[in-house]
Homo-oligomer: A and B are copies of this chain.
Amino acid sequence: MYIKLKQIGSIKTPYTDHAPYQPVDDEKDNFRIIVNNEYFEGLLHLEDFIYIYVIYYIDRLKKEISMHVSPPWTNREMVGIFASRAPNRPNSIGISIVKIKKIIKNEIVISGIDVFNDTPLLDIKPYIKELDSKKDANYGWIDGLEGDTDHLLLHIRGIPHGY
């Protein structure tokens, strides 16, 4: 069964040739979501939320999909594609949690997001504390990796670092 979705806007970022693995913070309002005019009214009261889910289509992928992947910052640990956040998935849907800085008409200025410029927007949902913030969540197989957990977290969070 195939499912047809439509682009409802675009994500604007400074990344044209490479993008980080995960969102990083930004002080320059370089990251924006532009919602197509016909959906503008759907943003009513969105600014009351601190965080939102941004759901998008990862459109700049050409490689074939493999069921097993090895995240680049691990020592060749092989995990299933569904146990990873790798972009090259059976359905290349991306989900990022970002902070809203401000909303001006149909533009949402957000904290950093790990996607290429002009990535097609599919949906926006509010991140609701009670539903989405799981205090007892874990790190899964990442916890079992060799090395300093604090260092691995820099990779997970996409923070550039020199070691």
Interface residues, chain A, with chain B CB atoms under 8 Å away: 1-8, 22, 35, 39-46, 48-53, 55, 57, 67-68, 78-85, 89-91, 93, 95, 97, 120, 122-144, 153, 156-157
In angstroms, Cα B7 to Cα A39, docked, is 26
Given A2-B4, A42-B80; 13 other pairs, CB 8 A cutoff = A2-B5, A4-B4, A46-B80, A46-B82, A46-B140, A49-B140, A50-B137, A95-B95, A97-B131, A97-B134, A130-B153, A133-B137, A135-B135
In angstroms, Cα B3 to Cα A80, docked, is 25
Known A-B contacts A55-B95, A57-B3, A138-B50; the reply to A8 vs B90 at CB < 8 A is yes
Residues on B with C-beta less than 8 A from A91 are 5-6, 8, 55, 122-123
Q: How many copies does the complex hold?
A: 2
Q: Is B83 a contact of A126 with CB atoms below 8 Å?
A: yes
Q: Is A49 a contact of B122 with CB atoms below 8 Å?
A: no
